[in-house]
Amino acid sequence: MLTKKVIFLGSKPIGYECLQYLIAQSQTLNIEIIGILTHSRSEFGSAHDLTQLATQHNIPILPSLDDMPPCDIIYSVQYHQILTQEHINKASIIAVNLHMAPLPEYRGSNQFSFAIIEGKTEFGTTIHRIDHRIDHGDILFQKRFPIPPGTWVQDLYQLTYNASLNLFRQTLGHIITGNYQPVPQSILAGKYGTSLHYRSEMSALKHIDLNWQKEIIEQHIRATSMPGFEPPYCIIDGKKVYFTTTPQ
């Protein structure tokens, strides 16, 4: 079997752990990681440095998407840039993305917060084909799970993190060998609906109106209180007053 050439795009702790697993399985799966693209995220600390991990294993660090060489597979995990069709075409077999949310319901960003605000009882994680639209390609693998009552955004993130890492590990071999059946998202849109959210929406989600009903205020606080980021707030006398939690 010919060695398949893989380019990895990723960031954040989940990207680090997926790259670490990809490296560990490279001989078993007969793959060569010919480059990575990443960017640092200071809010997650320095313990998950993908550049350092790649350097330790002599994997080239690519300057930009435009510098990607031809490969067999592109695998993206929490990478921040949108790939053009020209970038996607660098992969002769497939370009895939691990999206930490169920599709087609939650494309884009801030999916954890919106799920809590909308009172969803189910969430999930998805591996899908990359096309030129945001989180729009065919679904290859998906794992869904219940959202416990009263869940905070950090808890939902951790549940999704664990499910995402497990899904990546369980399906990596299938992605490499082509053992999957793509499902167009349009087939599921009637059942689950669809939405697309952007990072710029987060500030509005955190702005709490004290005239809201108690349940709505509580929902927004649970949905936007993420350690390392600006807390939810209200405006009193023209100043931001933050909502913070205290240890029990």
**Given a cut of 70, is residue 248 above it in pLDDT?**
no
pLDDT band with cut points at 50, 70 and 90 for residue 115 = very high
Domains (range + CATH), the chain: 4-197 (3.40.50.170), 201-242 (no CATH)
Closest listed residue to residue 106, CA positions, set 160, 40, 180, 170? 160
Distance CA 151, CA 244 (A): 16
**Given a cut of 70, is residue 33 above it in pLDDT?**
yes
Stronger pLDDT, 22 or 199, i.e. the higher one: 22
Average pLDDT over residues 205-227: 94
pLDDT band with cut points at 50, 70 and 90 for residue 42 = low
Question: CB–CB of 141/94 below 8 Å?
Answer: no
Query: For residue range 185-211, what is the model confidence (pLDDT) as tens digits?
Result: 999 999 999 999 998 899 899 999 999
pLDDT band with cut points at 50, 70 and 90 for residue 247 = low
Closest listed residue to residue 165, CA positions, set 41, 2, 51, 12? 12
Per-residue model confidence (pLDDT) at position 40: 66
pLDDT band with cut points at 50, 70 and 90 for residue 245 = confident
Residues forming a β-bridge with 1: none
- Quick one: what percent of the chain has pLDDT higher than 70? 95
Per-residue model confidence (pLDDT) at position 53: 94
Question: CB–CB of 98/31 below 8 Å?
Answer: no
**Given a cut of 60, is residue 43 above it in pLDDT?**
no
Per-residue model confidence (pLDDT) at position 172: 98
**Given a cut of 80, is residue 78 above it in pLDDT?**
yes
pLDDT, mean over the chain:
94
